[in-house]
Structure 1
């Protein structure tokens, strides 16, 4: 193998790892509207602080903010969401449609499966700004963001 090809492969690997670390390849969908957060407007409905997988595993959680509403209620990464407020949900869109009818501070019953057992927990939803702040704090702790000091 030539040296330039080896360097190209090494740089490609670094770029891939960087993109994966920052979530560019597998942009999670935040329950609460990641699109709304990226455009600068925050949704007014309640937020769980979790991310879904991609279809066909879209109801399996890929991320749960530890200090977010779902994390505080005991929901974990890998849990399979199966219902909300007693209503079975088959898709992420259906789940989101129910969430969009809530407000911060509402308590919702979330039904999920873990290790083959169904569980139901009550979750106190928060607002999208709180989730954004928790997410930024987590990224700072993980070293993905570096605070800038004033001169």
Structure 2
């Protein structure tokens, strides 16, 4: 990894996420329009919920929030279909270690998912470093291994949490 590449700025835990949500929704609308895909109201709402913070959100959390909003239980298959659509179209990522979802910072660009996840505040940040992809691909090729998908999840403690400790 190049030493002159600075890491993404960690979000302030108290910043308003509305700008993040609005940008993610605008990007989703643009990508769906360009691809001839339907961003249904439920898909849009699920994307909005995923982007409500920089903390990964589980499917059951999404179900609970939708149920609370509507006053009646949300149907799990509907939420899972919405999540599948958002995943398939690169609008969100799934963090396997947390069994949760996080918004994609770069849905316009084909890339693999690499994340720093704070074990204290649960904030997850996507790393925009193609060098990680290249290192994995090169090592895999040397071993005769065909990489189909890579998700790197690094757990630790973010700077703001370290400052509070």
The TM-score, its normalising length taken from structure 1, stands at 0.23
Kindly indicate which of the two structures has a greater share of residues assigned to strand. 1
Kindly indicate which of the two structures has a greater share of residues assigned to helix. 2
Of structures 1 and 2, the larger Rg is shown by 1
The TM-score, its normalising length taken from structure 2, stands at 0.21
